[in-house]
Amino acid sequence: MERLVFPFNEGNRSMAELLGGKGANLSEMISLGIPVPDGFTITTAACRDFLERKSLSEQLESDIEFAVAKLENRTGRRFGDIKNPLLVSVRSGAKFSMPGMMETVLNVGISPDIARELAIKSKDPKFAWDSFRRFVEMYGRIVCAVPASVFEEVRHQYLAAAKLNSPLDLSAEQIEELSYKFIEKVEFLTSRSFPMDAKAQLLRAVEAVFSSWNSERATLYRRRERIPTTLGTAVNVQMMVFGNIGEDSGTGVCFTRNPSTGESGDYGDYLECAQGEDVVSGIRNTLTLHDLVNLQPKAYTELKSIMSKLESHYRDMCDIEFTIESGKLWILQTRVGKRTAEAAFCIASTLVDEGLISIDEALLRVTGEQLMNLMFPQFDLSASNERIATGIPASPGAAVGHVVFDSKSAVDEAMAGKRVILVRNETSPEDLPGMVAAQGILTSRGGKTSHAAVVARGMGRVAICGAEEIKVNVAAREFSANGHTIKANDLISIDGGTGAIYLGEMRVVESTVSQYLQNSISPQKFTPLIRAIERFLTRADIVRTLDVRANADTAADCDLARNFGAEGVGLVRTEHMFLGERRTLVETLILSDSAELRTEVLKEMEELQYQDFLGIYLAMEGLPVTVRLLDPPLHEFLTDKTELSLSIAKKEANNQPVSDHEKALLAAVNRLHEANPMMGLRGVRLGVLIPELFIMQVRAITRAAADLLRTGIRVKPEIMIPLVASQRELLYFRGVLEEEIKSLLVDLDTTLEIPIGSMLETPRAAITAAKLADYSDFFSFGTNDLTQLTWAFSRDDVEHSFLPRYLDLELLPFSPFESLDQDGVGLLLRIAYDEVKAVKPHLKLGVCGEHGGDPASIHFFHQLGLDYVSCSPYRVPIARLEAGRAAVLTRKLITLDEKATA
């Protein structure tokens, strides 16, 4: 029979999958001799069983009862006993940290009789009844599903009747009375008696925490963080310690390093006479950890020692929750702390310097996504926008948006295409959808460890908390700050790095990190962050096996890509060279019946392309440049059919003349119109039917390369044929191109090798790649089209129709256009790779779709054994970093396998 409950002293941190991160870390701390309130963990397996059967099994109920009895023996207290009560907290704890996404119920086991006895024993009636009130409110909200707004309304009415301004002003008797009013409301809304039996409270609380695994916010968070829904959460039942028992008590959250910047030193929040929820909820502005030195010097000294011990043990920045009960320090939980992108790089680098981790382990602790966040623009502080207030900088970055005051509005406005800033007094877990939708979060209350701050940092959202200068009036949908009134939909800018709040839209400039990556700042101006990024990119470049190229269509794009570290161009999309003013050339070519005019147009196009390629080759001197021949169907260069038809119909209806050009254009559009153009006349098929168009391109590619080669400039052109599906069409079309290149090189009296390869972007090409390899010098996977054709998805259509719903229902874990579908499309890549390597082991294979810059996809491409990835210029540094991480991770896994089999 599977074991479902473990006391804290029987686990360790390696058991996170079974005990959840929180439970495993509690067990680990006990083994280190750290003062942890006793308790037990109910496993993730029990959660999965509960979610399947919709109730607790008899075995689990029996195991919980047995674990409670053991806990009673160890603590000397009795669960539900009036004279010597054992009260517990019931907390979630999944394998991966999900701060604030699931539920917690405190003071389970309390009743009015126990509260009265606690009041006598503690000589603090207010503490006793406040503990009862907290339990009633949390149990009512979490277990009985009574909305938080109901309790807020009851509290507001009670305070108004008592002529009091704050719940802190309530006496013990008034808190007791308010608690009964809460109970009356819960019983009225649920038509059930409020339970005062300790065992019933515990079992229902466990059920509620298990159920919260599938709450809307938890599901949304998992989807965003790509946490598998099948894991489930553990539940930790832990003896209560009270931070609200008197002036020598309190609660706090601390980090062993600054989670915003990575700097060493004390960092955290503390609240006197409070319980943990008060700190993270942000309902009260906190004291700093430094204030604890004077308030509780003994506890502070012990806390600092524990912080040092935990960081050394975990070899990482730790996030620690603690409570001081009557001067005694207790550690409630620890975990590797959430951090900003800047802190991630700085902390990892510092830990290498301190000898705690190796450079390769540090490389695994930073990600391409974090580097991408650091490349986002920042505010131009020379702008004239008025600063209206300043708060606590909780999560860095620059965000501009229209003000909204609730989560639903944030989601709705964002869905409509608006940038929004979510403004609240404080956030709660229910606000998560709005926090995800918003560009930034601004709260008037809370500190650096409040819910808003922790979640924003984890998501990479800009956040300012505890901005006491602003007064938020949610009902009126406005906030005021130093004489200014900002209403819903007004535009503001917030700087999460400085805490500054500005009126209107601030100008943005390129970030310092982006400037560094483009070699545009001097080493003298390098900050610790820049030095850390340089360190990890350098290491990644040393260990990676994947080359990183860029998708670039102009000389300017190539310059940018090369500055970012690109090792060539993996995709020049030549169709982009005929947009804008040049579109008329393609239009003329299509419409003309004159062979002479068509020849003239092709010559003009060739000269333009020649100049384009000269610039690209010069920018990429000595590096490979892969030029894809024209890919899209010709109708894309013409006016939209519907738009043109309506324009002509309108003229005819108004008896206005329709020009011959318009008539010819409409005829051409109708002639070229296809029901499904993405699967029609395009790519190699277009080259077979209109070879002169592609011969023009090959001439420009070859002439530009030959002319530069004669001047001593090294060029490495490669020609890539798009949308190949069969061996015969490739053989035929390659022959056409080779004949033209050979003839031209003779005329130019130049020797130049130009490899001709093909894109693998159809399923047929992928599964017959071995046959295509006979006539291809290299392959590049076009994963965008391959994804569309494999899934039978039209990207432009599905992303605005059913794909969002599929993601909501978790029918798809992520968009296959954002990250490679490794099971389906990835299998086609693997088949093609294996087929090609079996017949041509040294043939080069790369990828040039958007997936070439996606971190998860890059790891797959590394494991597959591809030679290079190609991505947009701004993603080149991300790809370099992730390719290095993939190499280190693979080596680490191989080492672990070898140890396991030794």
Q: For 46-60, 349-363, 571-585, 701-715, which range has the lowest pLDDT when averaged over its residues?
A: 571-585
Residues 406-415, mean pLDDT to the nearest whole number: 92
Instruction: Report in angstroms the alpha-carbon separations of 346 from 523, 533, 669.
Output: 17, 8, 57
**For the CA atoms of 626, 631, 637, 642, what is the dihedral angle to 10 degrees?**
-150
Residue 587's pLDDT is what? 77
Instruction: Kindly tell me the burial class for residue 523, based on how many C-beta atoms sit within 10 Å of its own C-beta (0-12, 13-18, 19 or more).
Output: exposed
Q: What is the distance between the alpha carbons of residues 229 and 218, in angstroms, rounded to a whole number?
A: 10
48-62, 477-491, 638-652: which has the minimum mean pLDDT? Answer: 638-652
Place of tokens 């999560």: 395
Q: pLDDT tens digits for 748-783? A: 999 999 999 999 999 999 999 999 999 999 999 999
For residue 430, what pLDDT is reported? 77
Q: How far apart are CA 269 and CA 285, in angstroms?
A: 9
Is it the case that residue 166 has pLDDT exceeding 90?
no
CA dist 371 and 117 (Å) reads 56
pLDDT top residue among 588 and 26: 26
Banded model confidence at residue 405, pLDDT cuts 50, 70, 90: very high
Statement: residue 806 has pLDDT above 80: yes
pTM confidence score: 0.84
Q: Output 165 or 900, whichever has higher pLDDT.
A: 165
What is the pLDDT, as a whole number, of residue 893?
A: 79
Neighbours of 838 (CB within 10 A): 11
Quickly state the pLDDT bin for 801 (edges 50, 70, 90). confident
Map 208-272 to HEC letters.
HHHHHHHCHHHHHHHHHHCCCCCCCEEEEEEECCCCCCCCCCEEEEEEEECCCCCCEEEEEEEEE
pLDDT recorded at residue 899: 62
For residues 625-641, give the mean pLDDT. 80
The 3-state DSSP composition of the chain as helix, strand, coil percent (nearest 5) reads 50, 15, 30
Q: Report how far residue 678's alpha carbon sits from residue 670's, in angstroms, rounded to the nearest whole number.
A: 16
Burial class (CB in 10 A: 0-12, 13-18, 19+), 112: middle
For the residues of 564-594, what is the DSSP string, one character each? TT--SEEEEEGGGGGSGGGHHHHHHHHH---
| HEC assignment per residue over 468-534 | CCEEEECCCCEEEECCEEEECCCEEEEECCCCEEEECCCCEECCHHHHHHCCCCCHHHCCHHHHHHH
Pairing state between β 287-288 and 328-336: unpaired
Contact in structure between 717 and 705 (CB atoms under 8 Å): yes
Catalytic residues, by residue number, are 451, 848
List the structure tokens of 751: 């020797």
> Would you state the pLDDT for residue 805?
84
Q: Which of 151-155, 561-565, 685-689, 887-891 shows the lowest per-residue confidence on average (mean pLDDT)?
A: 685-689
Q: How would you write 154-204 as a 3-class SS string? A: HHHHHHHHCCCCCHHHCCHHHHHHHHHHHHHHHHHHHCCCCCCCHHHHHHH
Encode pLDDT of 545-560 as tens digits.
999 999 999 999 999 9
User: What is the reported pLDDT for 641?
Assistant: 72
pLDDT value at 73 more than 80: yes
> Helix, strand, or coil here: 762?
coil
- How much is the pLDDT for 634? 67
Q: Output the pLDDT for position 427.
A: 86
Question: Assign residue 54 a region: left if phi > 0, alpha if psi is -120 to 50, beta otherwise?
Answer: left
Q: What is the mean pLDDT of residues 224-248?
A: 91
- Round to whole Å and give the CA distance between 624 and 844: 12
Most confident of 23-32, 590-599, 631-640: 23-32
Q: Among 623, 589, 636, 571, which residue's Cα sits nearest to residue 846?
A: 571
In this predicted structure, the answer to whether residue 184 has a pLDDT above a threshold of 80 is yes
CA distance 193 to 201: 12
Summarised one tens digit per residue, pLDDT across range 431-453 is 888 998 999 999 998 877 777 88
Beta bridge partners of 272: 250
Digit-coded pLDDT (tens) for 77-105: 999 999 999 999 999 999 998 888 899 99
**175-184, 201-210, 288-297, 707-716 — which is least confidently predicted?**
288-297
pLDDT bin (cut points 50, 70, 90) of residue 718 is very high
Q: In a 3-state reduction of DSSP, which class is residue 757? A: strand
Task: Find the length of the chain.
Answer: 902
pLDDT at residue 588, rounded to an integer: 80
Are 831 and 864 in contact, with CB atoms under 8 Å apart? no
Residue among 371, 430, 399 nearest 152 (CA): 430
Short-list 760, 766, 771, CA closest to 831: 766
Residue 902 has pLDDT above 60, yes or no: no
Structure tokens at 225: 């963080």
Question: Torsions phi, psi of 638, nearest 5?
Answer: -105, 170
Q: What is the reported pLDDT for 839? A: 97
Q: For 508-535, what is each residue's pLDDT tens digit?
A: 888 889 899 988 788 878 899 999 999 9
Split at pLDDT 50, 70, 90, the class of 898 is low
Least confident of 66-70, 449-453, 627-631: 449-453
| Position 901 confidence tier, pLDDT thresholds 50, 70, 90 | low
CA atoms within 13 A on the CB side of 660: 2
Q: Is residue 119 predicted with pLDDT exceeding 90?
A: yes
What rounded mean pLDDT belongs to the chain? 91
Strand-pairing partners, residue 389, are 501
3-class DSSP assignment, residue 430: helix
Query: Per-residue pLDDT for 250 more than 70?
Result: yes
810 phi-psi bin (left φ>0, alpha ψ -120 to 50, beta other): left
**pLDDT at residue 592 in the model:** 75
What is the distance between the alpha carbons of residues 605 and 616, in angstroms, rounded to a whole number?
16
Phi-psi region of 754 (alpha: psi -120 to 50; beta: other; left: phi over 0): beta
User: H helices within 620-690, ranges in order?
Assistant: 641-653, 660-672, 684-689
Neighbouring C-alpha atoms within 13 Å toward the C-beta of 248:
10
Rounded CA-CA distance 636/632 in Å is: 7
Paired with 336 in beta bridges are: 318
Nearest to 631 by CA among 719, 717, 555, 568: 719
Token pair in block for residue 382? 């020379």
Condensed to tens digits (0 to 9), the pLDDT of residues 258-277 reads 998 999 888 898 998 887 67
Q: Residue 703 above 60 pLDDT? A: yes
